[in-house]
Structure 1
Amino acid sequence: MSETSATMKRNQHFGTIVKALSGYYYVQPDQPLVDIGYDMKSVQCRARGVFKKRGLTPLVGDKVQFSLTENGEGTVDELLPRSSQLIRPPVANIDLVVLVFSVIEPSLNTQLLDKFLVHIEHAEIKPILCLSKEDLQQQEGAQANEAKEAIATIHQIYSKLGYEIYDTSATEQTGVAELKERLQGHIAVFAGQSGVGKSSLLNQLVPGLNLETSAISQRLGRGKHTTRHVELIDIDGGWVADTPGFSQLDFAQLGVEDLSYCFVEMRERAGDCKFRGCTHVQEPGCAVIAGVQAGSIAMERYEHYKIFLQEMNDSKRRY
């Protein structure tokens, strides 16, 4: 081996992209680099131009091979194989998704919740439901009643489907310790609608983090986007990612034929339908429709399925 090759080999390191911002990728090395005089926790890197030619984009969560440059920065040289990938939010190698939805302020949106779940089921990643601001049910009046009803609805519908549910309050620190314990040993992503309290929860999970939060707009009933980029946050024994708040998803990566599979209750009954490839809308002998009529499948979830199916069929006709 030549001296140049040996030097290059010694300069090769492995790590995880923990932040992507303004064309830079911040890589946390698997092994500390203090023995070679580098004492920063993460290395600010640029990606090699070859990735663009190959149509590849490094993502937060990617395991990478990188090299240090003379100016104290680095270059991402190779992306290692991914175990999972979400398109929106753009995160790789996560094995747990924490869907944060507030019981009020903004009001619980179960149609949006089901959209998230469809994508997560399609990605074959484990979802956890986290209800935030549960302390608001202790107040008086209509808001308290709305909060109580939202909590009851989620537990009644989604616990029967096997989803884990955590009732939390960043203000009262309710459920925070239990959620933190659940995250140990995982790379998890926090996702949900704007203003539901993702950043507030993360501030409680990681003392001293001090992520920016904002109040809900009383006129619009939704929060400002306080998170500007995706970043992995080191939490004792694992990683969590805070993601930009958003209220819409698209089905660009999901085929019409995949939709029913992403509803747990339909996936379990599809084999009992009379016809193969049943859309569960009007076919005779449909086990899913029978389940809805019998009350074993929640009507609300079924109505969301039909809305999503119509959206996807309309999108196909446009293109």
Structure 2
Amino acid sequence: MWQGQIIKALSGFYYIDYKGSIYQTRARGNFRNRKITPLVGDFVAFESTNKTDGYVLEMLPRKNELIRPAVANIDLGVVVTSCVEPLFSFNLLDRFLVTLESKKIKPVIYITKLDLASAEVIEKMEKMRSYYEKIGYPVYFSNEEGSEKIRRLFKNQLTVFMGQSGAGKSTLLNEILPELDLEVGVISNALGRGKHTTRHVELLTIDGGLVADTPGFSSIEFLEMSVEELPKQFPEFVRAAEHCKFRECQHRKEPKCQVKEEVSTGEILANRYDNYLQFYEEISNRKPMYNKKNK
């Protein structure tokens, strides 16, 4: 029995990287009975008599997973967002960041289309970068050799991409790996809003790391997170909360809330706080879900 990592899943076959060689395998029949679905990125125990006839025997512990793209054990999430065409959205950016934080995935922000932006928009992006870097998120601009800087982060990490439709995810991936030849503009629409599930995900080795070869997803809902967990996904809230009057302060109507105080002084960005309140309401009003998630 060997241990390797799934780098591609297609038509019921799982392709496992073991010491630089790829083995084609199937999952044991009892996986389905136990409602276990291996994902690309999973580490597994498997056996094989040759490179085309093996079986996945056991799933090793999974540290995280995303549904879109269906990848497990992710280290780095690159959030690609445009400053124009489509317009920059603080709300969408924060949705991605909150989701990545909840999955313990390190976020990186990549801003595209600055060559099309006015001086006013560029100034807005510079202010945005200053704030988000202050709270711990690296921000790269496409007009500053950003794709090369992103590429340098790949080593020893599994990276996925995400962002709004039309933001330039495919363009960025094509710059990093031209042989992918992703269809720019069309692929975002095809993969957005859940339609991309027909495309298989494959992990590619780039600069000593693994990169998912799909632009990922463009919209997001908080289907798993609780209102108690939400404030813990905002790094600046976590820091400020140490000085709130109540230990489990939700930073809404409570008195002597340090988060609200820092919003009033401008130390915490008002847009971030407004998005937090909106996300809080969304989660509070979410319809109950029955747990059908595969373990």
TM-score by length of 1: 0.80
**Which residue in the other structure is 1:152 paired with?**
126
User: Is the aligned partner of 1:211 residue 2:191?
Assistant: no
Separation in structure 2 between the aligned mates of residue 252 and residue 302 of structure 1, nearest angstrom: 20
User: Is the aligned partner of 1:28 residue 2:2?
Assistant: no
Separation in structure 2 between the aligned mates of residue 317 and residue 237 of structure 1, nearest angstrom: 42
CA contact (8 A) 1:18 1:231 kept: yes
Q: Summarize the Cα distance change of 1:201–1:73 in structure 2 as closer, same or farther, 3 Å threshold.
A: farther
Q: Summarize the Cα distance change of 1:207–1:88 in structure 2 as closer, same or farther, 3 Å threshold.
A: closer
Structure 1 residue matching 2:107: 3-state secondary structure: strand
**Which residue in the other structure is 1:140 paired with?**
none
Query: Which stretch shows the higher mean deviation, 253-262 or 160-169?
Result: 160-169
Amino acid corresponding to residue 47 of structure 2 in structure 1: S
Separation in structure 1 between the aligned mates of residue 87 and residue 107 of structure 2, nearest angstrom: 21
Separation in structure 2 between the aligned mates of residue 266 and residue 118 of structure 1, nearest angstrom: 12
Q: Summarize the Cα distance change of 1:25–1:244 in structure 2 as closer, same or farther, 3 Å threshold.
A: farther
CA contact (8 A) 1:67 1:76 kept: yes
Higher relative contact order (CA 8 A, sep 6+): 2
Q: State which of 18, 23, 28 in structure 2 corresponds to 1:48.
A: 28
Give the CA RMSD over aligned residues.
Answer: 2.6
Separation in structure 2 between the aligned mates of residue 29 and residue 146 of structure 1, nearest angstrom: 51
* Identity rate, percent: 45
Structure 1 moving runs of 4+ over 4 Å = 316-319
Following TM superposition, by how much is the alpha carbon of 1:31 offset from its aligned partner in structure 2, in angstroms?
Answer: 4.3
Following TM superposition, by how much is the alpha carbon of 1:22 offset from its aligned partner in structure 2, in angstroms?
Answer: 3.3
Following TM superposition, by how much is the alpha carbon of 1:59 offset from its aligned partner in structure 2, in angstroms?
Answer: 0.8
Structure 2 residue matching 1:67: 3-state secondary structure: strand
Following TM superposition, by how much is the alpha carbon of 1:18 offset from its aligned partner in structure 2, in angstroms?
Answer: 1.2
CA deviation profile, 1:247-283 (whole Å, cap 9, x unmatched) = 3222222111000010111111112111232211111
CA contact (8 A) 1:195 1:245 kept: no
Separation in structure 1 between the aligned mates of residue 31 and residue 264 of structure 2, nearest angstrom: 52
Structure 1 residue matching 2:242: 3-state secondary structure: helix
**Which residue in the other structure is 1:271 paired with?**
242
Separation in structure 1 between the aligned mates of residue 170 and residue 72 of structure 2, nearest angstrom: 20
CA deviation profile, 1:100-125 (whole Å, cap 9, x unmatched) = 11222222222111111111111122
**Which residue in the other structure is 1:133 paired with?**
113
Query: Which stretch shows the higher mean deviation, 300-309 or 64-73?
Result: 64-73
**Which residue in the other structure is 2:293 paired with?**
none
Structure 2 residue matching 1:183: 3-state secondary structure: coil
CA deviation profile, 1:283-308 (whole Å, cap 9, x unmatched) = 11111111111111100000000000
User: Is the aligned partner of 1:18 residue 2:11?
Assistant: no
CA contact (8 A) 2:14 2:24 kept: yes
Where does structure 2 lack aligned partners over 5 or more consecutive residues? 291-295
Query: Which stretch shows the higher mean deviation, 111-120 or 228-237?
Result: 228-237
CA contact (8 A) 1:101 1:108 kept: yes
Separation in structure 2 between the aligned mates of residue 189 and residue 241 of structure 1, nearest angstrom: 5
**Number of equivalenced pairs:** 285
Structure 1 residue matching 2:230: 3-state secondary structure: helix
Looking at CA atoms only, which structure, 1 or 2, has the larger radius of gyration? 1
Following TM superposition, by how much is the alpha carbon of 1:77 offset from its aligned partner in structure 2, in angstroms?
Answer: 1.7
Following TM superposition, by how much is the alpha carbon of 1:246 offset from its aligned partner in structure 2, in angstroms?
Answer: 3.1
CA contact (8 A) 1:103 1:150 kept: no
**Which residue in the other structure is 2:202 paired with?**
231
Structure 2 residue matching 1:191: 3-state secondary structure: strand
CA deviation profile, 1:189-208 (whole Å, cap 9, x unmatched) = 11222222222212221242
Q: State which of 168, 173, 179 in structure 1 corresponds to 2:142.
A: 168
Separation in structure 2 between the aligned mates of residue 71 and residue 129 of structure 1, nearest angstrom: 39
Q: Summarize the Cα distance change of 1:133–1:125 in structure 2 as closer, same or farther, 3 Å threshold.
A: same
Separation in structure 1 between the aligned mates of residue 88 and residue 200 of structure 2, nearest angstrom: 25
Amino acid corresponding to residue 242 of structure 1 in structure 2: D
Separation in structure 2 between the aligned mates of residue 175 and residue 251 of structure 1, nearest angstrom: 29
Amino acid corresponding to residue 160 of structure 1 in structure 2: K
Q: State which of 58, 61, 72 in structure 1 corresponds to 2:52.
A: 72
Separation in structure 2 between the aligned mates of residue 182 and residue 109 of structure 1, nearest angstrom: 25
TM-score by length of 2: 0.86
Separation in structure 2 between the aligned mates of residue 317 and residue 233 of structure 1, nearest angstrom: 38
Structure 2 residue matching 1:166: 3-state secondary structure: strand
